[in-house]
Structure formats: structure tokens, C-alpha cells
Amino acid sequence: MSSRLQAEHLYKVFGRRPDEAVDRLRQGADREELRADGTTAAVIDASFTVEPGQTFVVMGLSGSGKSTLLRMLNGLLDPTAGQVLFDGQDLTALSARELREVRSRKISMVFQHFALFPHRSVLENAAYGLEVQGVPRAERELRATDALAMCGLAGWEKSWPDELSGGMQQRVGLARALATDAGLLLMDESFSALDPLIRRDMQDQLIELQKKLKKTIVFITHDLNEAMRLGDRIAVMRDGSIVQIGTAEDILVRPANDYVASFTRDVDRSRVLTADAVMDKDLRGDEADCGCETATPDTSFVDLCAISARVPHAVAVLDGKRRLVGVVPRQRLIGFLGDQQGEPTPCDAPRDKAVKAVKSDA
């Protein structure tokens, strides 16, 4: 059902002589140098793969090239150079008719301001994508009803869009995208216009839905917290280029450069990090089990703090076979809660205590 998506060395240049501009970019020119000639390098050499069922987030400031990148992924914009492979099929090589077919059946989009048709009911709005595909009325109404229910809008089918709040209208947009069964969902700042609480609610809903649906999702946002909540992997864009691709943890703990690091300062680390990122792994491989409370590598940072408060020494982290894979001294927790990156300063005393406690109980 879900699709694999690959971008290979994608470029998009707006303005005169775009091919020449791509050559200059390949030789190392940047966006600013091209701008002097009135040419905009919107996307520069973007490559990535989104595996089936993954949520891939593209994060960057306004103007960094996110929407342009997304429009190349669904074939709305022709790349100046590079390829988009959709389940191995080169989108850039399809005829206009084939491309329309792929777009209407296999890809659905949710925008920031979802334009609902004011004179159609919520149900008809949710069924619109299916109508375009030529699905008969009875079937499309059934599928749209299901999709609305998934998005928490059961009972609103007969309402008119203007009877719904902004958050609910956005849910109709999501339902429309889900009703079509498309394996690839492209979301451009879909939650950015919503109030913070509703936005969070929509993020939770998407996470829940995704557990069941396992679609391939490309989600665009300028908000790193949103990126980290939703993304299995995150690409950070700057001035048209992808400057880092990684998990939330990679970006938080191992930022590729100062630019990425500057974004992570406002991130609530306790919501992203797990024991695996925080623990001291020097003890890997020791067989041990202590009698007191322990953690696993995927224990959340918040739970780890709670355990640490109850345990008189560093917390032992055990894998599925109850083997010691690391320890977390309390000091280390505090270090990571600040903006500590990479290896924290060693703190042997508490670690030795943990080892002793772990070993004596083994």
C-alpha cells in the first residue's frame, strides 16, 4: 500500500538559463552568488530516500526551499536536474497523462490552508478526491465516512464547512487525503496555521493514524519541535540545501553544524531523548542484573529521571536479554537537559557505584 520515494540530486532553479545555473551550483556556487544574476536556486542537490511507511520531515525556515522540493516530489514542478523515483518509477519521465494518473491515485496532499468547498457538505468535501478518481457515489461516501471517523469527525458528515472550527476544517482536509487510499501523503505546513493546542492534538492524531495506516509521509514544517514529534527521519534545509538528515536524536545530540545546533536550543530535550542517547556505553557487554529498578534503551528521558530519583546510584540500562548495555549517572541526565551535545564529561565515581551495585547483585 505505502510507497517508496527517492529524490536523487534534485535541483530547481527559477530564472534565466537554469541549466547553466545548475552547472555553477555543481561547481560550488551558492544561492547568493546566483541571486546576483537574478536567478533563484530554490533547491540545491537534494537526495534522500523515504522507505515505505516512514514519516520523513523536511524542516527549514521560510524560503529555504521546502515547498519547491515537495512540488517536485509530486510532479507539479519539473526538476531543473535530478530525478524523483516513486516505487522505482521515474516521475520525471512520465507523460502528462501518466503523471496525472499517479497524482490522483497514489499521492495525496494536505496544505496549510485547506480550501474546502463552501457549498458542499463535510462528507462531499472529504469524498472529493475519490470523485476526481471516478469512484461511484455510494462507495466514495462510505470511504469518506470512514476517513472522517478516523479523523475524529464522525457525526459531522452533513454539516457545512463554515459550521466547523479551523482545526476541524483541517481534519476534513486530512480525511480527504486519507479517503483516497494513496500510499504517499505529502503535507505542506499542514498544521502551521492552527492554535498550539489544536496543533498538538492534530500531531497526536496523525501519530495514532500512522500507527494503523503506515503510509509514506513527507511532512513539511518550519517548527523543529513538530519535526521531532512526527519524523522518523528529519531533513534540515538551509538556503536550498539539505544540511543534515537524521533521526530527532541525531539532530539533537549530533548536529551537523552550528546552524542545526542553533535550532535545537529551543527543543524540549526531555521529550525527544531516550536512555539509548543518554547512557554511558563503556560497560556494554557485561552480564548483569541489579535488584533495583532499571531502564531499557527506549525508556524515555522523563521516565529515566523518575527512576533516577528512586535509585540510590546510577541507573542501569538493560537490553531484552537483561544484559547491561549502559549506565546513566544522574549528572549525565542533567547535562543532557541543558544543551550538552556529544560525549558528556566523564563522571567515574557515580558510574563505578552503579557498576558495583549492578555487579554485586548479579
Ligand X SMILES: Nc1ncnc2c1ncn2[C@@H]1O[C@H](COP(=O)(O)OP(=O)(O)O)[C@@H](O)[C@H]1O
Binding site for ligand X (CB under 6 A): 14, 40, 42, 60, 62-68
Cβ 92 to ligand X shortest distance, Å: 18
Please state, in angstroms and rounded to a whole number, the distance separating the CA atoms of residues 240 and 60: 9
| Binding piece for Mg ion, criterion CB under 5 A, among 64-72, 95-103, 249-257, 342-350 | 64-72
Q: Between residues 76 and 142, which has the closer beta carbon with respect to Mg ion? A: 76
Nearer residue to ligand X within complex by CB, 111 or 160: 111
The window from 60-68, 170-178, 276-284, 344-352 that contacts Mg ion (CB under 5 A) reads: 60-68
CB of 50 to Mg ion, least distance (A): 18
74 is a contact residue toward Mg ion (CB under 5 A) = no
Least gap, CB of 189 to ligand X (angstroms): 8
Q: Which does 14 bind (CB under 5 to 8 A by kind): Mg ion, ligand X, none?
A: ligand X
> To the nearest whole angstrom, how small is the minimum distance from the Cβ of residue 194 to ligand X?
18
**C-alpha cell of residue 37:** 544574476
Q: CA 204, CA 206: separation in Å to the nearest integer?
A: 5
We find the least distance from the C-beta atom of residue 263 to ligand X, in angstroms, to be: 14
Q: Return the residue of 3, 39, 54, 67 that touches Mg ion, per CB under 5 A.
A: 67
From ligand X, Mg ion, none, interface partner of 52 (C-beta below 5 to 8 A by class):
none
Residues at the contact surface with Mg ion, assessed by CB under 5 A: 67
